[in-house]
Amino acid sequence: MTEIAHGAVVALPGEAIVSRWWRTLDKGVLGAVVLLFAVGLLLGFAASVPLAERNGLEPFHYVYRQAVFGGLAFAVMLVVSMMQPHVVRRLGVVGFFVAAAALMLLPIFGTDFGKGATRWYSLGFASLQPSEFLKPVFVIMTAWLMASAAEPDGPPGKSISFAILVVVIAFLALQPDFGQAMLTVVAWSAIYFVAGAPIVLLTGVVAAVGVAGILAYQNSEHFARRIDGFLSPDVDPRTQMGYAIDAIREGGFFGTGVNEGRVKWILPDAHTDFIIAVAAEEYGLVMVLFIVALFGFIAARCLIRLCIERDMFIRLAGTGLTVLLASQAFINLGVAVRLLPAKGMTLPFVSYGGSSLIAMGLLTGMLLCFTRTRPQAEIGDHLLSNGYR
């Protein structure tokens, strides 16, 4: 059989798409994602039963829905991971305009489901949260603009991406959804840093975020209440935060035992924002560290792979997606142990939620696409292809 070697990768003539996909896929990252979803289903059997009982539904109603959403998420993830990077780029750019339009129309057609923040579209059989889908496609859009700016006679991509960032943050703040706005800023900053942003500029961005936080505190009762609760030296034991901290403390190292936890009967968001409290109470610190290790493994593995990537768009987009995934997990876990103010953010692949699961499937599919093993041209060829002669 004739084999053509390109760097460290061997291209096999006539190889089937699925075979090539499986051979070049980062199976470690895929396995970690599968384990996270399995943990989410396991915790769902415990955390969602009280909610189903309160709503007069079958005990495992939300577990079944989670399994269906998870199946859709994995289908999206696998299909996207099989695509070529340029196809994912086009998909992301088009998806950004669609998601941005959906976000902007929320004040007119959206609903708050009684939670005080208009973040969802009610579809009758389910709800749709545009901001969840906006995050990964915003990363693709930003990476494309910044990579284009690095080309000879390229557009002012960095300036355009910053203008888009300001508009997106403004619409997220109107909901209000300061947690998603913060995630968007973090992802944009990570991409800009890798693209070669000066430290002075990044310092300015941090200062601007601080000023925006002060203004939000002064003008948003919702935001101020959460900050005041976080800064208070005492935690009201009758609040969600109080119950979560007690559950984590009660779980200890090995937990109270399967289905022996109490916090799931008290916390209204035990199956979503505070799913880690259920894990800590019933399975202890061991389960929490296992979940943290999985997220750490995914982030480290992807960043190490991206360090050797010579295509600027892939490097920028992959870094942004990795930072986005890791930051959302960090915020969810940080809120549960009171390291951060309450944000109302799900734990990727573990918390219940259709929009969150499917959007994370899209994000991870893009990440798996960008981290697939592919031929790396010699550095001289790469520079010539970008017009440096």
Of 164 and 246, the one with more pLDDT: 164
Torsion region of 113: left, alpha or beta (phi above 0 gives left; psi -120 to 50 gives alpha): left
In this prediction, residue 12 has a pLDDT band, given cuts at 50, 70 and 90, of low
pLDDT of residue 142 exceeding 90: yes
pLDDT at residue number 50? 83
pLDDT of residue 1 exceeding 50: no
DSSP assignment string, 217-233 = HHH-HHHHHHHHHHH-S
The dihedrals phi and psi of 226, each to the nearest 5 degrees, come to -70, -40
Percent of the chain clearing pLDDT 70 (strictly above): 88
pTM, two decimals, is 0.88
Q: Strands, E, within the chain: which ranges?
A: 4-6, 9-11, 121-122, 127-128
pLDDT at residue number 211? 82
- How many beta carbons lie within 10 A of that of residue 344, not counting itself? 18
| Candidate from 50-59, 137-146, 153-162 with smallest mean pLDDT | 50-59
In this prediction, residue 139 has a pLDDT band, given cuts at 50, 70 and 90, of very high
pLDDT of residue 4 exceeding 50: no
Q: What is the mean pLDDT of residues 194-201?
A: 80
Residue 179 DSSP SS3: helix
Q: What is the mean pLDDT of residues 325-350?
A: 87
CA distances from 265 to 47, 161, 186 (A): 8, 45, 35
Token pair in block for residue 65: 């829905």
Q: Is 213 exposed, middle or buried (0-12, 13-18, 19+ CB in 10 A)?
A: middle
Q: Is 40 exposed, middle or buried (0-12, 13-18, 19+ CB in 10 A)?
A: buried
- Per-residue pLDDT tens digits for 252-269: 888 888 877 888 888 777
Residue 348: what residue type?
A: P
Closest C-alpha among 213, 71, 203, 93 to residue 142: 93
Integer Cα distance of 287 and 283 in angstroms:
6
Token pair in block for residue 314: 């892939």
Q: What is the mean pLDDT of residues 175-194?
A: 89
In this prediction, residue 7 has a pLDDT band, given cuts at 50, 70 and 90, of very low
Q: Which of 39-48, 153-162, 293-302 has the highest mean pLDDT?
A: 293-302
pLDDT of residue 168 exceeding 90: yes
250-284 b/e with 16+ CB inside 10 Å = b?
bbeeebbeeeebebbebbebbbbbbbbbbbbbbbb
Integer Cα distance of 185 and 179 in angstroms:
10
319-341 b/e with 16+ CB inside 10 Å = b?
bbbbbbbbbbbbbbbebbebebb
Q: What is the mean pLDDT of the chain?
A: 84
